[in-house]
A and B are shown apart, each in its own frame.
Chain A
Amino acid sequence: MVERSSPFAATVQGRADGVTLAPMARGSLWQVAAWGDTYAEVEAALAKACGCEAPAPNLAVATKDGGQLIRTEPLKWWVLGADGADCPLQPDPADGAWLDLGHDQAGVTLSGPNAAELLKRMVSIDVREAAFPNGAFATTDMHHMITRVLRLDADGPCYHVMVMRSYADVLREVASHHLAHFG
Chain B
Amino acid sequence: MSTTQAQGPVAGAADYLDQRTGIATAVKGFARKIFPDHWSFLLGEIALYSFVVLLISGVFLTMFFVPSMGLVEYTGPIASMNGQLVSEAFASTMKLSFEVRGGLLMRQIHHWAALLFMASIVTHMMRVFFTGAFRKPRELNWMVGFILMILGLAAGFTGYSLPDDVLSGNGLRITDGVIKAIPLIGAYMSYMVFGGEFPGADIIPRLFTMHILVVPALILALVGLHLLFVVLHKHTQYPGGGRTDKNVVGFPLFPVYVAKAGGFFFIVFGVIAFMGATMAINNVWNYGPYDPSPVSAGAQPDWYMLFLEGSLRLMPGQTEYVIGGYTLSLNVLIPAVVVPGLLFTFLAIYPFLEAAVTKDKREHHVLDRPRNVPVRTGLGVGFLTAFIILALAGSNDLIATHFSLSINAITWTFRIALFVAPVLAFWITKRICLGLQRKDRELVLHGHETGRIVRFANGEYIEVHKPLNDQERWVRVNYDAHKPLEIEPREDSRGVRRKGFKKDQMLQKLSRFFFEDRIEPVTPAELAAAHSHGEHDQLESHAPAAQLAATDGGAVLSDHTPDDHGHQH
A and B form one complex: no
